[in-house]
Amino acid sequence: MCSAVGIAAAAALVITALAAPAGAAQGGVTVKPDVTYRTVDGEQLGLDVYQPAKKGKNRPAVVVVHGGGWTQGDKALFAQQSNQLAERGFVAFSINYRLAPAHPYPAAVDDVEAAVAWVRKHAKEYGIDPTRIGALGGSAGGHLVGMLGTEGEGSLKAGHRVAAVVSWSGPMDFVSLAPAAATNAGRSISTFLVCVPDACPETYAAASPITHVDKTDAPMLIVNSTMELVPQSQADAMKAALDNAGVANQAIILPGARHSRAYSNDVWAQTVTFLENYLKK
């Protein structure tokens, strides 16, 4: 793999400004930071809420998931994108989740699923429609939203299920990445999954969005670059799996080596259009 997921190092280079303080307005957006959505073994997990400044109800929502190789990063990494979503009429919930190695798989998956369930439970409080919740994530966050879009079966309007997913540079198949996971370049994968592939092949499969694809899954937009940290083959394989299951999807393959938020501006219009198509009435 092209250094499969030296994702953690890449994420560290691109940390953006922190989210605005409570009640601050950015371009007509109100930000409510550090809302606790889950407490696990005494550890509080928080999210930042980005709402259109003008009050409303039954708006679509997007759960936003940062990257960092599953070992680092913060919800503030996606402050810009969350703010832009709110400017377009969504309510965005940019979340933190537990990080490896202290909290290996499935902790992060459990947390993002809990965040969606929390958003759905608090829909009235934040003026959202609980049946129209989507997810956007990049890098490790792209993997986690891939899990949101594929784990479980049936209705996309209940529990932790989401109605649309956008994954930027998300690893989708750890089984095919297994050779890299045993090397220094892929250390973030084995750290996240707590073992090398030969020792726990079932974990590599269970943690892979591609394993869980079925016909009831959420529509998905998959974005990848041709020569980046996550091989293009990950996006190609996931698209093929969704096609075979009859799940609506779109893939955007960009030239070059940019990863996740590094190409945000180039795919922002398509990202918003995709979310609007599936989340707005």
SS3 of 213-272: CCCCCCCEEEEEECCCCCCHHHHHHHHHHHHHHCCCEEEEEECCCCCHHHHHHHHHHHHH
Q: Of 96, 66, 68, 71, nearest to 81 (Cα)?
A: 66
pLDDT of residue 175: 95
Backbone angles phi, psi at 275, to 5 degrees: -65, -40
pLDDT of residue 185: 58
**Tens digit of pLDDT for each residue in 16-48?**
334 444 444 456 999 999 999 999 999 999 999
- Which whole number is the average pLDDT over 131-143? 98
- CA distances in angstroms from 148 to 113, 133, 135, 145, 213, listed in the order given: 7, 11, 8, 5, 11
pLDDT of residue 270: 98
Helix (H, G, I), strand (E, B) or coil at 95: strand
Q: Of 119, 45, 56, nearest to 86 (Cα)?
A: 56
Q: How many CA atoms lie within 13 A of 281 on its CB side?
A: 7
- Which whole number is the average pLDDT over 186-203? 91
Model confidence, pTM: 0.91
Task: Give, for 188, the enclosing helix (H) or strand (E).
Answer: helix 187-193
Asked whether residue 10 carries a pLDDT value surpassing 70, the answer given is no
Query: Which of the residue ranges 120-129, 182-191, 195-204 would you say has the lowest mean pLDDT?
Result: 182-191
- Which whole number is the average pLDDT over 173-186? 82
For tokens 């003008």, what's the residue? 54
Mean pLDDT of the chain: 91
Asked whether residue 157 carries a pLDDT value surpassing 90, the answer given is yes
pLDDT of residue 23: 47
- Which whole number is the average pLDDT over 1-15? 40
Helix axis angle for 232-245 and 174-181, nearest 10°, is 160
Cα–Cα distance measured from residue 190 to residue 201, given in angstroms and rounded to the nearest whole number: 11
Domains and CATH numbers, the chain: 8-172+212-279 (3.40.50.1820)
The two tokens of residue 125 are 């409080």
Q: pLDDT tier at 1 (50, 70, 90 boundaries)?
A: very low
Q: Of 260, 189, 255, 177, nearest to 223 (Cα)?
A: 260
pLDDT of residue 159: 96
pLDDT of residue 178: 87
pLDDT of residue 179: 86
Q: pLDDT tier at 8 (50, 70, 90 boundaries)?
A: very low
Cα–Cα distance measured from residue 275 to residue 270, given in angstroms and rounded to the nearest whole number: 9
Q: pLDDT tier at 198 (50, 70, 90 boundaries)?
A: confident
